[in-house]
Structure 1
Amino acid sequence: MEMTERNKDFVGVEKDGFNFSGLEVNGSGEGFDEGGTIRRNAAAHLNQIGAEIQLTASVSGVVPDDTFTVSQAISSIGFGRFQILLSLAVGLCWMADSMEMMILSILPLSLHCEWGIDQYRQAFLTTIVFIGMMLSSMFWGKVSDRFGRKPALIISGIFLFFYAFLSSFSPSYPWILCLRFMVGFNIGCVPQSVTLYAEFLPSKQRGKCVVLLDCFWALGACLEVLLAMFIMPSLGWRWLLAISSLPSLMFLLAASWLPESPRFMAASGQSEKALETLTKVANQNGKSMLLGRLIVDDVHTLSRGRLGDLLSKELRKTTILLWVIWLTASFAYYGVVLMSTELFNSTDHLCSRTFDKKIEPTCSADCHPLKMSDYNHLLWTTLAEFPGIVVSLILIEKLGRKYTMALEFLGFTIVLCTLYYCAADRTSVTVILFFARALGSGLFQTAYVYTPEVYPTVLRSVGVGSCSGVARLGAMLTPYIAQVLLQRSFQGAVSVYVISTLLATLCCFFLPIETRGREMKDQNH
């Protein structure tokens, strides 16, 4: 409400002759020398009271009739043409990420055949990408919370395409290590696209839409396998790297259309720009914009983009549990991805290997390139991403976010346990990995829904960035289990994944907040 207008009316009553604090003030303002001062002080005092009422009402979820919050505006605008176009733009970002990740299950084996790198250097080629992602996740989160989601995504997109394309010209192993590290560093910004996407979605559609975004990840993974199937036998890994960098270029072109998040602009004091963006979104969706004045949902109590605030009293338990959940989800998911190639490429009974089996140095003459049948099995396990999306889509609104994650982690653990009875039968291994991949994919998407919802706008990007960074730590460790330990003891490698996913299941139950049906907060209360 416009308190200043109502204050004028109140002071106008004084002009007609109102006894204020025991002093008679007449219509002309005469009678006492202090009369003018009293009226000014009264107006200022009422303005202050009005502001306090407005903020208190906002905190309690009730706002004055002629004001509205970003959440109310987004809910009023609803899901429409704008969100569909935004889904396509953000989806390209996810496809680029997915294809660069899927390369990691194919590239090391190819370099072993061409350059003769051993298992440890193959594993480190995967690890170096995740090191870059881990180191940059927090960096991009802070950039997004301080300067905006859009600038961070555009800058990272430019460098992602540049280094991904340049990787195809690598002359030696040290060169490709450096270039893939830079690819990983810029992929670290991809989670911020989910933050931007979620901040434009009404609460009723948010969970389903973020889960469906995984369709682009699944498409990218399947496309990468198909590209490898037809490019690797004839053109080799250099052409595969060059062509796989094109989705990042396509996202970069689409990013120029991306609007900045109105939640970010409102929380950073740019209410006019936020209102302008919301009006454009309403026009694209064919809806009328709410009338009145835009206000921030809550009072500012936290500074923007500070990592220490994630461990404040209110958020400490949630943050620590989410770090464990994200680390384990990444560790297990990428473990299955890398394990798939190792199992399909094995020429002996890998399932029967024990700790007395030593890893012998290999040379390029000993390499066994993936055959067409291997790519077919790899494609089948990759297609499991789609059933994973369906499972999460059904459960996330019925059971809630944290119980969906718990159930998927438990299912992941049970499926992995069936590998103990593996008899090197390719069909059974493909089926087991199919279900594991489906549950792992669903886990990631549910975590991507829950995390932006649980953190306030002022900490949303740095919260998602910290979780993503911790997840990369798990991804850094998993090559030494799925590619190195697996060669010595199959049962030992599987046991590591089973124990870790069981621990993460318990962590899901202890999460203090369920975000299903909860509006996204601009501040922490």
Structure 2
Amino acid sequence: MTSFFDGAIFKDTDGIIMNEDHVELQERTLSDSDVGDDVELPREPPMPDPQPQPREEAAAGIATGNEDVEYSVEEAVNAMGFGWFQVKVACIVGFNWMADAFEIMLVSVLSDKLKCEWDLLPYQQAIITTIVFSGYFLGAPLWGLMGDKFGRKVTLLLCSFYIFYFGFLSSFSPNLTWLLILRGLVGMSLGGTSQAVVILAEFLPSKSRGSCLVFIEAFWVIGVLLEISLALLVIPTLGWRYLLVFSSVPLLIFVYLAKFLPESALYQQASGNWSGAMASLEEISRINKKPLPPGKLRKKAELKPKGSFRELFTTKLLATTTLLLIILWFCNAFLYYGNVLLSTELISSGDTCASNAEPELECLSTCKSLDTQGYVDLLVTSLAEFPGIVLTLLVIDTLGRKITMGLEMLVAGVFTFLLLLCIGGLPQLVFIFVIRGLISGAYQALYVYTPEIFPTHVRSVAMGTCVASSRLGAVLTPFVAQILVKQSLVMAVCVYGSFTILASIVSIILPIETKGRILK
């Protein structure tokens, strides 16, 4: 008689095992001796060998092991740490930064040269500077929107090409009107260069993000020094038109280098491109020779790149931070470019004695362009940005971003007011040197703080908005550094001194410190 239990396998529970986070039933399969000799136990077929999973399935969550473990892009970047991949990205982005410095520093050198060659009035000289930053002001938020919708790499590539194109064309300007049109278009294209900071920040581990973003300022300073050196060599021999041509060439080189620049993994995750995000993470793993974390990439389907200005004001905390940063970016650009232009005016004039009003007006109103010694003095004051970088590198991860910006601006304000003393020569050069270094350091700390405070889906448009406000400051500063200074040096210095104190206060009252913050 056939047993009812023939062909069956019996299992019973031996007990319950407590395993910290959950209760697990331990099961035991009964052996032949448990069921008797008349029961034949079937054998289970062998399990097939597991097949390797393609990248798309792994990115979608069908991992070969550790299926319940998930990690975000930022956690993966932190786990793999800083390595040669970040060095590669920093060098490519840094080259773009250096090329942009050519176009920005060109503004002060070009306006100084044309004021005599084209017999420009003071307001016309100021407009040459203002038109570039006006274009920057208009272009920055538009490029920011594009960066959140179409990607950081594409945006950076396009804006760099347009900077080269319009910069090259401006060398053929027959008159002031054409020069202003073409330099304005250069300015609009420059509005997209903040994507360089965004894409680098999104590839950096939290521990090294602050120091690395400050370090790329060295590329900017190198660009400034090279542009001044180029002007010293080219303007007296070939003229300013050739200077415009040579200054645009580095952007064309970057367009080629951009093909080696990967798209941001954070952006790809935010836009739902899981395979693209995994590809970028795998490239980091391969170049850094560090394994990816165990598990699978976490899906965040709700996180989409919106690129909306309203997203910057969705909460009271975010709205307050956004408004304070808009003020701070305005002040930083107003002071930084004001210092560049003012130092050019003071050095070329040769006399800054504030106690003698009439000689001051006569000296500063005379048409004098930079001579060889003037270019050398500009090089010396520009070198001040290197100590500013070193100081910021030393304190930004110790004191934090807010305190670093606040203290540097406060000390810069003190030295700005010291320019009210009747000084000239070496003491004046030292004061300008210190002011330039501190403002540059605070400005770079702001470039670190801003991408850290905003989430991925609005980071690009937030940077574009902040950069736009900074360019409004750059638009206005020539009227102080190149026009007001010819009427009253005391008033011009007081304006700049007051803005440094304001920037210091705003830095301190920012509601959030981002030191060690994980990007969201």
Q: Where on the TM-score scale, by shorter chain, does this alignment land: which range?
A: 0.7 to 0.9
Give the secondary structure class of the aligned counterpart of 1:245. helix
CA contact (8 A) 1:384 1:438 kept: yes
**Alpha-carbon distance in 2 for matches of 1:409, 1:299:** 42
User: How do residues 131-210 of structure 1 correspond to structure 2 at under 5 angstroms?
Assistant: 131-210=134-213
How far off its partner does 1:452 sit? Answer: 0.2
**Alpha-carbon distance in 2 for matches of 1:354, 1:333:** 26
Question: Which amino acid in the other structure matches residue 519 of structure 1?
Answer: I
CA 1:421–1:359: 2 relative to 1, 3 Å: closer
CA contact (8 A) 1:338 1:482 kept: yes
CA 1:274–1:336: 2 relative to 1, 3 Å: same
CA contact (8 A) 1:96 1:220 kept: yes
CA contact (8 A) 2:267 2:456 kept: yes
How far off its partner does 1:79 sit? Answer: 1.2
Query: 2:410 maps to which residue?
Result: 410
**Alpha-carbon distance in 1 for matches of 2:140, 2:476:** 17
Give the secondary structure class of the aligned counterpart of 1:171. coil
Query: 2:421 maps to which residue?
Result: 421
Matching of residue 476 in structure 1 with residue 475 in structure 2: yes
Match of 1:267 among 260, 267, 270: 270
User: How do residues 2-401 of structure 1 correspond to structure 2 at under 5 angstroms?
Assistant: 65-296=68-299, 300=302, 304-313=306-315, 314-349=317-352, 351-352=354-355, 354=357, 367-401=367-401
Query: 2:499 maps to which residue?
Result: 500
**Alpha-carbon distance in 1 for matches of 2:239, 2:359:** 36
Question: Which amino acid in the other structure matches residue 462 of structure 2?
Answer: G
**Alpha-carbon distance in 2 for matches of 1:82, 1:70:** 15
- Give the aligned length: 455
**Alpha-carbon distance in 2 for matches of 1:443, 1:348:** 29
How far off its partner does 1:495 sit? Answer: 0.6
CA contact (8 A) 2:265 2:281 kept: yes
Specify the structure having the higher radius of gyration (Cα): 2
TM-score in terms of structure 1 length: 0.83
**Alpha-carbon distance in 1 for matches of 2:512, 2:352:** 46
**Alpha-carbon distance in 1 for matches of 2:369, 2:409:** 33
Give the secondary structure class of the aligned counterpart of 1:421. coil
How far off its partner does 1:352 sit? Answer: 3.7
**Alpha-carbon distance in 2 for matches of 1:301, 1:100:** 36
Larger fraction in helix: 1
Gaps of at least 5 residues in structure 2 are 1-65
How far off its partner does 1:323 sit? Answer: 0.7
4+ residue runs over 4 A deviation: 347-350, 353-362
Question: Which amino acid in the other structure matches residue 74 of structure 2?
Answer: S
CA 1:288–1:301: 2 relative to 1, 3 Å: closer
Give the secondary structure class of the aligned counterpart of 2:396. helix
Give the secondary structure class of the aligned counterpart of 2:196. helix
CA 1:415–1:302: 2 relative to 1, 3 Å: farther
Give the secondary structure class of the aligned counterpart of 2:320. helix
Query: 2:489 maps to which residue?
Result: 490
1:211-234 deviations in Å (ceiling 9; x for gaps)? 000000000001111111111111
CA contact (8 A) 1:194 1:210 kept: yes
How far off its partner does 1:367 sit? Answer: 3.1
CA contact (8 A) 1:405 1:447 kept: yes
Query: 1:12 maps to which residue?
Result: none
How far off its partner does 1:210 sit? Answer: 0.1
Q: Which range is displaced more, 102-111 or 196-205?
A: 102-111
Gaps of at least 5 residues in structure 1 are 1-62
CA 1:488–1:352: 2 relative to 1, 3 Å: farther
How far off its partner does 1:376 sit? Answer: 1.0
For the aligned residue pairs, the C-alpha RMSD in angstroms reads 2.1
1:61-116 deviations in Å (ceiling 9; x for gaps)? xx985211101110122111111111111011111111111111110121122211
Give the secondary structure class of the aligned counterpart of 1:397. coil
Aligned-pair identity (%):
43
1:238-275 deviations in Å (ceiling 9; x for gaps)? 11111111111111111111111010010111112101
